[in-house]
Amino acid sequence: MTGQRDILITEVALRDGSHAIAHQYTVEQVTNVARALDEANVPYMEVAHGDGLSGSSLQYGLSRTDEMKLIEAAVSVCKHSKVAVLLLPGIGTVNELKEAHRIGAKMARIATHITEADISKQHIEMAKNLGMETVGFLMMSHMAPTEKLVEQAKLMESYGADVVYVVDSAGALLPHEVRERIRALRDHLSIDIGFHGHNNLSLAMANTLAAIEEGAKRIDGSVRCLGAGAGNTQTEVLVAVCDRLGIQTGVDIYKMMDLAEHIVAPILNSPQEITKDSLVLGYAGVYSSFLLHAQRAAKKFGIDSRDILVELGKRKVVGGQEDMIIDVAAEIAGQKAGAAV
């Protein structure tokens, strides 16, 4: 990879996008997308189950294809791009991390809830020992004050993280809130800062630009907006906007457009857009990957999925508590049945 880059983009459609298609990626699909991303000169691409290594389960959603085969497929066609994996401690273990590294993953993104960075120590240290570029990924960053974010980010930095991300998992942050958080990390950390947005309030691009203006150097995007909820910052659009602003990404805009149109669009079950449910995710501050789970529960119990999502937001349910979705749906259905008597 040549040329100056002002920001480094990580393409997350092959991980975050897994949520949107119920974790049904095939080896052929991943191979085609990865090859095109490599040809477009995207520096990093993340490949894994939507909930990270070992996420395939009844609770989080069963994968159609073993994720190690998907990682291996992506690695096999990348001449320039580096393959990254996501790991949530408690779901994935150091054993899966070692296996991902063995088959060619070069970056480990260790993700925790915004207040639980202390559980990332073992995994960040292992990734560093393996020689992987290592990212601390602070999910649901809207759920804690900026002071807590700084505290947790400094923990990840102390464990050896090369980068720490502000992760707007619910797509709930507003631009001024992103600015405040990125600026605070920039003032208190000596490592690179990243931003991962979701588009549930139609603010992914605005939030991403706010993050870049405040000094974030690592930015996530998903081609064709293929990600949980209403998707992430749309990569091909981000590259075009950055070009207009004179921000160097090193990514070929025409090749990203072609990838979005001809390879990724056919994968989508329906176009990524801000539906009533994805809007509620951002409005209520609920984890974006809850969307399909809530829709299924609503259908099962004959209730409105928005009621489920709003209640989950009130209870401050976070990633890893997917089993609560059925409980909440059953409770709401019971209340409605009782009220009808």
pLDDT greater than 60 at residue 1: no
Same domain? For 27 and 108 the reply is yes
29-76: pLDDT as tens digits: 999 999 999 999 999 999 999 889 988 876 777 888 899 999 999 999
Same domain? For 262 and 307 the reply is no
| 1 domain-assigned | no
* Entry pTM: 0.92
Find out whether 287 is annotated in a ligand binding site: yes
239-281: pLDDT as tens digits: 999 999 999 999 999 999 999 999 999 999 888 999 998 999 9
In the residue annotation, 49 being an active-site residue is answered as: no
Q: 334 burial class (0-12, 13-18, 19+ CB within 10 angstroms)?
A: exposed
Find out whether 224 is annotated in a ligand binding site: no
Find out whether 254 is annotated in a ligand binding site: no
Q: Which of 81, 101, 4, 5 is nearest to 36 (CA)?
A: 81
CATH (domain of 227): 3.20.20.70
160-177: pLDDT as tens digits: 999 999 999 999 999 999
Same domain? For 204 and 75 the reply is yes
| 277 domain-assigned | no
pLDDT greater than 60 at residue 2: no
pLDDT greater than 80 at residue 340: no
Same domain? For 57 and 155 the reply is yes
| 330 domain-assigned | yes
| 257 domain-assigned | yes
| 281 domain-assigned | no
285-310: pLDDT as tens digits: 998 888 888 999 999 999 999 999 99
Same domain? For 190 and 255 the reply is yes
Same domain? For 171 and 35 the reply is yes
| 17 domain-assigned | yes
**Catalytic pick from 19, 101, 113, 123?**
19
Same domain? For 251 and 304 the reply is no
The total of structural domains in the chain comes to 2
Same domain? For 237 and 192 the reply is yes
CATH (domain of 293): 1.10.8.60
Find out whether 196 is annotated in a ligand binding site: yes
Confidence of residue 341 (pLDDT cuts 50, 70, 90): low
151-163: burial string, b at 16+ Cβ within 10 Å, e else? ebbbbbbebbbbb
| 284 domain-assigned | no
- DSSP string computed for 68-119: HHHHHHHHHH-SS-EEEEEE-BTTB-HHHHHHHHHTT--EEEEEEETT-GGG
Same domain? For 185 and 145 the reply is yes
Same domain? For 183 and 237 the reply is yes
Range(s) of the domain holding residue 310: 289-340
Could you tell me what percent of the chain has a pLDDT over 70?
A: 98
d(CA 171, CA 278) in angstroms, rounded, equals 9
Same domain? For 198 and 234 the reply is yes
CB 47 within 8 A of CB 70: yes
Confidence of residue 238 (pLDDT cuts 50, 70, 90): very high
185-228: pLDDT as tens digits: 999 999 999 999 999 999 999 999 999 999 999 999 999 999 99
Residues 6+ apart with CB under 8 A from 265: 224
Residues 6+ apart with CB under 8 A from 272: 20, 199, 224, 225, 226, 227, 230, 231
Domain boundary among 266, 297, 316: 266
| 170 domain-assigned | yes
Find out whether 179 is annotated in a ligand binding site: no
Same domain? For 149 and 90 the reply is yes
